[in-house]
Structure 1
Amino acid sequence: MSHPEQTEEQVRAPKAAASSGRTAAWASLLGLLAGVLGLAPWLISGAKLPLQNMWESEARPEHMPLALLPLSQYELTTIVALVTVGGAAAGLAVRLWSPEHRRLATWCAVGGVLVVQIVAAVQSFTVLNQGLASGQMASIYFFGLLAGVILSLAASVEAVLLFASTSRVATTLGVGLMAIPFTSWVVEWVVGLVGYINVPPVVSTMAHWLPAILVGLALAWCGLRPRWRAVVWLVNLALLWFVPALFISVNYVLGSRVLAGDLEEMLLMSRQILTATLGPQGGAAPLVLLALVFGVVGVGVREVASRQRRQSALR
């Protein structure tokens, strides 16, 4: 009596292994494609290493070597956007796919994304190291950029996990974290296609309001039931207030040649700019209000639609 049962298990095991193998292969491929998609705005622009203040020899922009990441103190927030959007895209692909072996698919997608991003980082830092002048400041610059890229890779992994999650709360939090980097990524597409000089003024206006729209739509999708989800609303609205100010502060301080090398003065200036940007004059309040309006209206629309469906089912 036990033989048929054992035979069935023996037949089932290879099928399960084959299914897991297919899932791993497809998820890895999704991760690879998502990693390339994240870097695409930079790649279509020509992927020339930005001009460096500490380059060993004089060079024009068109003579700079190929680099898969725009390594520069002026492009740190761009690097964050290119890397984290790749992770978010991989996680979203897994969520939409919803495979049977979800955990396996998620981590294989993480692996695929990291393969692309680590290869890009190694190639770019190799090129940077070969061209930088020698000296203590050049070393600080090199390892500072390296630390920033490593943190970006960690954020990319977190983006995969949040967007691949079955939890609406986790994915909504992912949208809150990614709204600003995604907007920067979209702007980089426009810049890569038309160049900095030819960017239409409307792009700046759209980039200003897009994060609030994304966060508001995510809040509407998340909903307010159970009531503890209100915490996610507060967190996302706080991120919408804080992250743009952080990006502005980082771009200003790291992009200032006057402060270059003076770490104490850079920290002081970053605190001052961050405080000013977070204040009433920073302009974040309309963004938070717009996101809140989108969220509340969206929840209201969903409630009305749900009530109408229930009434129709009772008729």
Structure 2
Amino acid sequence: MEPDDTATEPREAERETRDPDEGAAADAPPRPLRWWLCLLIGAAAGAVGLLPWLLDGMRLPLQNLWATDALPDEYPLALLPFSQYFLTRIAALLIVGAAIAGIAARATRSRQRRSGVTWMLVGLLAVQVTAVVQSTMVVRGGLEDRFESDLYLAALVAVAVLADLIGVAVMILVGTAPRAGAVIGLAVAAVLSPSWLGGLLLPDPAVGGSAQEPVLFVLRWLPAVLVGAAIAWGGIGTVGRVIAAVVALAVLWIGPALITAVSNAAGSRVLARRPDEMIEYAVGVFQSASTLPELVVPPLVVAVLVAVGGLVGRLVVRRRRASTSTPEPSAPSDDASQSVPDCGGASAPPPSTAG
């Protein structure tokens, strides 16, 4: 019996019609990103992080220690909202931008050289440090010449520098660490996401209205959903990932309480001249916000439900892919089995015709 060539004909035809140059290009690895492109990606991430404040007009917020009586529209422009009432917003603008840079670094990791993440970090810090320096110079030039003004400005700079350092850690975790570390970095950014997105969608929270209610609902549950999605993406298949999931839930528990405490204490003009009482008040607010079940439990439950749903969905998709990629064994047909010659008969010598 002659062998069946129908199975090999498509492959041979494909070899004959395929362009050798196209095949080499398809099999070649993607071209690595140039250093300047990595630099631009980091700078773009830093600019996106500042986007809510840039779109809001960059007008410096109200300053209690301003040297002159100025209307809100008369304040100078600053790249960061340097004010004791915007501490959370400052941290969100810097840390969310760093998280975006980390996501970009992780997404392009297969096309990076060894120094790719470093150049992205340089581009990110170039934008953020410029924003901190410019805002510092603008505020310094308009404040009263007194000790309280120096202390006030030093506190704002310290908050911005601390946020920058946390942002660097978040970018490294998200961009270069294993999934367990990336989950923790994403959780930190998720806690600050309401302030960032709120600045983009609600630049003036004082203006009320029914149109803001859906946005406020989204902002309330956004950190829990993002943390749950990060846990589902990271998985719980190893001890490190389980620990990372627990840490992410702890960040979701402690982070909002810390933000509430700092915002309430720093935003009080009564406590501005009494730092010891301000710290005591912040500790009290933190204890209340981190222990009240009606504040703590609902976000954790939502995060766990989102994580479980995502993990189950991943498992279902993985099993479907495995079942479709595994070919089913096919039984030989009767015609094929009948056409196969007997090995014994094939090996016997032909009968002799000699007389």
Query: TM-score by structure 1 length?
Result: 0.89
CA distance in 2, matches of 1:79, 1:72: 9
1:233 aligns with 2:245: yes
User: Which residue of the partner structure matches residue 122 of structure 1?
Assistant: 133
CA distance in 2, matches of 1:71, 1:25: 31
The correspondence of residues 194-205 of structure 1 with structure 2, limited to 5 A, is 196-197=206-207, 200-205=212-217
User: Which residue of the partner structure matches residue 276 of structure 2?
Assistant: 264
CA distance in 1, matches of 2:220, 2:153: 32
Residues 226/281 of structure 1: CA separation in 2 closer, same or farther (3 Å cut)? closer
For residue 283 of structure 1, give the secondary structure of its aligned residue in structure 2. Answer: helix
The correspondence of residues 216-255 of structure 1 with structure 2, limited to 5 A, is 216-255=228-267
Say whether the 8 Å CA contact 2:179–2:241 is kept in structure 1: no
Deviations 1:139-196 (A, max 9, x none): 110111111111111112112212212521122111111102122111100123x774
Residues 135/278 of structure 1: CA separation in 2 closer, same or farther (3 Å cut)? same
Task: After TM superposition, give the deviation of residue 225 of structure 1 in Å.
Answer: 0.5
CA distance in 1, matches of 2:314, 2:60: 48
User: Which residue of the partner structure matches residue 64 of structure 2?
Assistant: 53
1:38 aligns with 2:38: no
Task: After TM superposition, give the deviation of residue 102 of structure 1 in Å.
Answer: 4.5
User: Which residue of the partner structure matches residue 306 of structure 1?
Assistant: 318
For residue 155 of structure 2, give the secondary structure of its aligned residue in structure 1. Answer: helix
Deviations 1:25-63 (A, max 9, x none): 111000111111111110111101111001011011000
1:188 aligns with 2:199: yes
| Pick aligned residue for 2:171 from 129, 142, 160 | 160
Larger radius of gyration: 2
CA distance in 2, matches of 1:103, 1:183: 34
User: Which residue of the partner structure matches residue 146 of structure 1?
Assistant: 157
Detail structure 1 runs of 4+ shifted over 4 Å in the superposition. none
Task: For 2:92, give the aligned amino acid.
Answer: A
Task: After TM superposition, give the deviation of residue 99 of structure 1 in Å.
Answer: 4.2
Higher fraction of helix: 1
| Pick aligned residue for 2:105 from 87, 94, 105 | 94
Task: For 1:154, give the aligned amino acid.
Answer: L
Say whether the 8 Å CA contact 1:106–1:160 is kept in structure 2: no
Say whether the 8 Å CA contact 2:191–2:255 is kept in structure 1: yes
Say whether the 8 Å CA contact 2:58–2:80 is kept in structure 1: yes
1:209 aligns with 2:231: no
1:78 aligns with 2:89: yes
Q: CA RMSD in A?
A: 1.7
CA distance in 1, matches of 2:101, 2:120: 6
CA distance in 2, matches of 1:29, 1:305: 36
CA distance in 2, matches of 1:213, 1:296: 12
Residues 150/282 of structure 1: CA separation in 2 closer, same or farther (3 Å cut)? farther
Say whether the 8 Å CA contact 1:254–1:260 is kept in structure 2: yes
Residues 103/259 of structure 1: CA separation in 2 closer, same or farther (3 Å cut)? farther
Task: After TM superposition, give the deviation of residue 307 of structure 1 in Å.
Answer: 2.3
Task: For 1:138, give the aligned amino acid.
Answer: S
CA distance in 2, matches of 1:160, 1:224: 22
Structure 1 residue runs of 5 or longer lacking an equivalent are 1-18
Task: For 1:251, give the aligned amino acid.
Answer: S
Matched residue count: 295
Residues 166/102 of structure 1: CA separation in 2 closer, same or farther (3 Å cut)? farther
Task: For 1:200, give the aligned amino acid.
Answer: Q
CA distance in 1, matches of 2:125, 2:325: 48
Task: For 1:197, give the aligned amino acid.
Answer: V
Say whether the 8 Å CA contact 2:191–2:251 is kept in structure 1: no
Between the two proteins, what is the percent identity of the paired residues? 34
User: Which residue of the partner structure matches residue 137 of structure 1?
Assistant: 148
Task: After TM superposition, give the deviation of residue 303 of structure 1 in Å.
Answer: 1.6
User: Which residue of the partner structure matches residue 344 of structure 2?
Assistant: none
CA distance in 2, matches of 1:206, 1:102: 39
Task: For 2:317, give the aligned amino acid.
Answer: A
CA distance in 2, matches of 1:38, 1:311: 42
